[in-house]
Amino acid sequence: MDLAHGGSGSGDEEASNSRKDQKQYHRHSTEQIERLESFYKECPNPDEAQRQQLSRELGLEPRQIKFWFQNKRTQKKVQNERADSNALRSENERLICENRAMQEALRNITCPSCNGAGGGKEGNQQNLQRLRMENIRLKEEHEKTINFVSNYVGKSTNTLGTESFSNMLGSNFPGDGIGTTTPFDLRQIPHHLETPILPYHSFGINEMDKPTIVETAVAAMDELVELLRIKDPVWIVSPTDGRYMLHRDSYDKLFPKTNHFKSTSVRVESSKDSAEVAMAAKQIVQMLLDSNKWRDMFPNIVTKARTIEVLDSGNFGGSLHLMYEKMHVLSPLVAPREYFFIRYCRQLSPSTWVMVDVSFDFIKQLQDAPPTRSWKLPSGCMIEDMSNGKSTITWIEHVQVDDKLSTHRLYRDLVCSSQAYGAKRWIATLQRMFERLAFSVGLNTATPKHELEGVIDSLEGRRNLMRLSHRMIKNYFEVLSMSDKHDFYHLSEMTNSGVRVSVRKSNGPGEPEGFIVNAATSLWLPFSYENLFNFLRDEKKRAQWDVLANGNPVKAIARISTGSDPRNCISIVQPFVPEENLLMLEESSIDSLGAIIVYVPIHLPAITSAINGEDTTKIPILPSGYVISTDGRTDKRIGTSSSSSTIGSLLTVAYQILVHCGSTSKQLDMESVATVHSLISSTVQKMKVALDYCESD
């Protein structure tokens, strides 16, 4: 290395001295270079004292040390600049290649939705202009919302009232009057419909809470729209049953919030499903905003529904309701879920609506009201009209629950896997009910020779009979919970879930007068729900297990189809017991998650009056029947054959019997209670024998 190169000085004398220093350095180069290199790593810029020290150690002149460090620093600088230049040159070449590739891709761009060619520069400009206009519109809507909420919060409680939110939400939705459901007033509810969670006599929303309700509704709508839009990683596919569920960590990062319940046993259920339904979007929205129609649409899920208060009823594009609902899984072994919630509808486009439900604590001011153990996080659906009388619905369910102790072990898998109350069940029920509604118009009825032949062919007669059957279904589902009745626990806890017996007084003209004994039991059977449903519908086998048939054959004398599946129908059946003019009205229904068979004895004159179009609400009915569902564990048996003993389903059997007795339930004939208890136990046992099933225990 040239220690003199790059030093200061001028003239021949300087050059001569540098050459002498260089020759002297080379005579000791190896040891000196190692020492200098080592020192350079620690201190590239030595001061005068350090150079003197190195001079004494290496036997070199201080000036040689100085020049060496100057040259070394210069070399490092040149090397670094050369490396940076090479790196920049490589980066430049890479960017040039990427630019060329992008230009080539832009020339051959295609639309991912339709695989059509892009519009080139002119098309891009048009799209850009369209996006700018859309951005302006969204900003205006956002400003309106902010201004409205600010003005709403700023009003005094004297002038707040229940004003319309149409300024905030637009007024594009036709159909005035749908949001005028009668407000919730507990004083007008019959005693048998009251629930323990509502022990007070009147109800009203504090005016101070209304701004908070608006803000909660808007925030819930924003969250639901975002959940409908995004996919991975927030939504993941369950490895067990293939359903869509929320990834908790990803969700919590996007929507952080505290848990409503503090218990360690609280769990979260989440699910998403989508399907096509045979109903126009506007009609679906109308039904969702009416609590009575909401209950009629989901009779197997919603057993009670009320509108507490309507804060906006003017336009569906901004409807805001405060509601109450009671949900049930159709077995006395599962506690019902109750929600006080906000239902908020927004129209996103001329053909798309979003409906969101979110829990709100309307009763926090009541000291004697027990807390609910279910809390609805932003849930709901998006309804997209397909312009052919059909719609596509995407449903999201997201709740926090604390019900482990109140759910029997038989139903724990079904409930905890989000199958009992999940999005798929709401969608499947909606499809089935709309199919039933479509079949109420038009399809011919197959009627064997009987005195009813020809009469039931009338369209109005079929519709009236279907209305009566729907009331029968709703009545049967309501009594399954047995949550507000007098229970006889000493008759329960037998094999499986045991038989639960309860007593209540009849509710009025829709039921026979007197005391009614209910008995219900739920059990697991090692058969698929479809095979079990087919077994219960088989007229030839029914005499083997149905104790009410007394061993007599059963035969349907008339049928009304309620779906494309021939098993979905309403039947008029010959009597199980030999009694003149007594028939059975029976409805059977099956979907992708379960099935039902419900029946009620009715005298011939009552059925004839229904077929003739007379009012069916006064016909007294007392239905009994069977509910079948999957057991919630099918995810563990994917790929197994249908004959596998591990495949199972849950069956609930429930009977109602009228008991004429004194004026109080205390005078109830205990013999009647024992009779209905024995009846249901005997039916279950005969059913197992007919199915050739013996319990191992």
Q: What is the 3-state secondary structure (H, E, C) of 183-219?
A: CCCHHHCCHHHCCCCCCCCCCCCCHHHHHHHHHHHHH
- 448-634+645-661+669-691 fold: Alpha-D-Glucose-1,6-Bisphosphate; Chain A, domain 4 (3.30.530)
CA distances from 112 to 109, 115, 116, 123 (A): 9, 5, 8, 15
* DSSP-assigned letter for residue 365: T
- pLDDT classification of 274: cutoffs 50, 70, 90: very high
pLDDT at 267 over 70: yes
Q: What is the pLDDT of residues 583-625, one digit of tens each?
A: 889 999 999 899 999 999 888 888 888 888 888 888 999 999 9
Mean pLDDT for all residues in the chain: 77
Residues whose CB is less than 8 angstroms from the CB of residue 482 and which lie 6 or more positions away in sequence, other chains included:
332, 500, 502, 518, 520
Strand bridging mode 379-385 / 486-487: unpaired
Scanning 480-631, the segments in alpha helix (DSSP H) are 529-537, 542-545, 604-611
Contact indicator for 591, 429 with CB cutoff of 8 Å = yes
- Tell me where in the chain the CATH 3.30.530.20 domain(s) lie: 208-439, 448-634+645-661+669-691
In percent, the amount of the chain with pLDDT more than 70 equals 72
pLDDT at 649 over 70: yes
In percent, the amount of the chain with pLDDT more than 90 equals 29
What pLDDT was estimated at residue 453?
47
- pLDDT classification of 159: cutoffs 50, 70, 90: very low
Specify the DSSP element, H or E, that contains 432. helix 423-438
Average pLDDT on 434-455 reads: 59
Q: Give the residue among 422, 276, 289, 273 at the shortest CA–CA distance from 347.
A: 289
d(Cα 672, Cα 677) in Å, to the nearest integer? 9
- 208-439 fold: Alpha-D-Glucose-1,6-Bisphosphate; Chain A, domain 4 (3.30.530)
d(Cα 418, Cα 269) in Å, to the nearest integer? 6
Q: Which residue has the tokens 């929600």?
A: 339
pLDDT at 11 over 70: no
What pLDDT was estimated at residue 45?
86
Positive or negative, the Cα torsion across 335, 336, 341, 343? positive
Beta bridge partners of 235: 246
d(Cα 51, Cα 361) in Å, to the nearest integer? 81
d(Cα 33, Cα 25) in Å, to the nearest integer? 9
